[in-house]
Chains A and B, each alone.
Chain A
Amino acid sequence: MSEKKAAPWLRIYAVLAYAYIYLPILILIVFSFNSQKLNVRWEGFTLRWYGELLRDQEVLLAARNSIVVAVVSTLVATVIGTMAALALQRYRFPGYTLAESTLYIPVIIPEVVMGIALLAFFAQAGFQLGLGTISLAHIAFNIPFVTLVVRARLHGFDKAIEEAAMDLGANEITTFRRVTLPTILPGVMAGALLAFTLSLDDYVITYFTAGPGSTTLPLRVFSMVRFAVTPEVNALSTLWVLTIFILLGIGQLAQRRQARTF
């Protein structure tokens, strides 16, 4: 890859773009310290909402539920979706068009419809509504997103390297692990990230497929927000973002350490 630095206008553009993306986040962090509960105007600085948040059992439970569902659905969807992407980009088989169309359906179908249809299906099939049904629903809409992103990555992939590896004696699995996978890994990771994000933030489908006691964060937040976007709600998001950044930081440090030991 190029070692040249990007043109100055491009760097300025990137800064502006990130500013656009982070501006609302900044606002919500600032307003997590507002002493006015209705959070309409800035009244004064206080930390009390963070305290209330950490004592709010419902929110903590919802956060845990959201993470569990997001992790499970992302893992399953990424594996299945990557396989599907490989299938669609490299092979022709009977039922190709049907497969491709089926993959687009969860993306196109309006969430209300998907939610109600799944609920009716679960009810008829006798599934108990809960974290399991939510996960099953999330996997269904995550798979197409992963597939699409990985397909974009696979486009133009030169099979010559794979063939060379196989000529040298590697079997399919090894070839996949050591040649194909590293190359498509950015696409797979990007797809997984997208799936995780979608799952964490889903409201409508989750609403319909959730059962008693299986509230996720979006459901909880949505209902809290009906009163007002209280500073407590903002505090939740702030902590969330902070946690991610800390984890990222740790990840970066770990990567650098690893690089140095080589």
Chain B
Amino acid sequence: MKTINYLVILAVLTLMLVACSGGGAKSTELNLYGWSEYVPQALLDGFTQETGIKVNYDTYSSNEELLAKLQAGASGYDVIIPSDYTVAILIKQGLLEEIDLKQIPNFENVVAELKDPYFDPGNKYSVPYQWGTVGLVVDTDKVSRPITKWADLWDPAFKGRVVLLDDEREVLGMVLLTLGYDKNSTDPAQLEEAKAKMLELMPSVRLFDSDSPKTALLSGEVWLGHTWNGEAAIAHSENPAIDYICPEEGCGIWYDNLAVPKGAPHKDAALAFLNYVLKPEASLLITKEFPYSTPNQAALDLLKTQDPAAYEAYMGYAATNPPLDAIQNGKPVLDVGEATTLWDRIWTEVKGGE
């Protein structure tokens, strides 16, 4: 009965796969779950060299995907890299482990302003990883007039030449700012106004893209748009005509953090990792590879002594080091709780076309 043999082999194979996947219960491993292209390999290698702990680096592509997976009950991850409002939501849902800052001495290196954030008072659950802004990006070869405000996007001359992030909170939030309202408004009337204003902008929008808006800029498909500071920095290094501006109404501001999900199998390794990342040398690796802003003061001091030119470049460029008033005027995304469904509906109406 040859067929039976094959079936048995298959069954055994399948069972083996199921069983095999249950590995990783040794304390010499760390399961890191983060954004893709966000943690330099050199950092992971350095960590392994210093502690002997091997790092498995799995990735997700949005805070929402991370949330959905954790909410549905996924476990096995030791360190995650959630953004500000995601940390807040995870805390409210009880999905994070408390971290003992005494075991993370390098926390001292963090810039004072970024300690004790609004989304995680006392840093009970998270430490900062990188931060940045969301602003306007312009190809100055194609756009001659000065661009200083979000409202400039509505100029009819830019018909079909604008890229926006595919992010309802950032986009609708930006529209609310142009109307003089709060970026995180939950007022239905204000949101209706924002919807109307957004619909006016739609003919100018060539595409929505949260993954890689720089591609459309560099390929000439769009002339200006709405993007993360890191994307703008990369585009700028390819094409110096591409500029990044923090608009008058207030650029967006975000903070990414390291956190430990509840039930992490290697909690000790997780804390060791958090501590390692806050070393100035490690932080510097991150900023060099991914041009967002670093929360690590010690890293900046190190850069100043190691490579003054790079330090000047970092401090002098708006994309990596926003001016103080931009930071103070920065508008983060806050969790709007029950109004989330209202926001989603407005966004659906905008894209669904009225």
Contact = CB atoms under 8 A, between A and B. Distances in A.
6 closest pairs, A vs B, by CB? A130-B21, A123-B73, A223-B36, A132-B18, A212-B31, A128-B22
User: B interface, by DSSP: helix, strand, loop or mixed?
Assistant: mixed
Contacts of B65: 207
B37 A40 contact: no
Interface residues of A, number: 42
A208 B14 CA distance: 19
A79 B24 CA distance: 33
A249 B61 CA distance: 38
B345 interface: no
Contacts, number: 123
B76 A227 contact: no
Interface in B8-47: 10, 13-15, 17-24, 31, 33, 35-37
Given A72-B10, A132-B21, A212-B24, A226 B76 contact: no
Given A72-B13, A79-B7, A222 B61 contact: yes
Nearest to A116: B72
Given A215-B58, A228-B212, A208 B21 contact: no
B143 interface: no
B211 interface: yes
A210 B58 contact: yes
B219 interface: yes
A38 B215 contact: yes
A128 B75 CA distance: 8
A224 interface: yes
Interface residues of B, number: 42
A261 B24 CA distance: 52
Interface of B: 6-7, 10, 13-15, 17-24, 31, 33, 35-37, 56-61, 65, 68-69, 72-77, 211-212, 214-215, 218-219, 234, 238
Interface in A189-227: 207-208, 210-215, 219-220, 222-227
A212 B69 contact: no
Contacts of A116: 68, 72
A130 B58 contact: no
Interface string A117-149: 001101110011111110110000000000000
Contact of B21 (A36, A128, A207, A222): A128
26 contacts: A38-B214, A38-B234, A40-B215, A40-B218, A41-B218, A72-B13, A76-B14, A119-B73, A128-B21, A129-B21, A129-B74, A129-B75, A130-B18, A131-B21, A132-B19, A136-B14, A207-B65, A211-B74, A212-B76, A213-B58, A214-B21, A222-B61, A223-B37, A225-B212, A226-B61, A227-B36
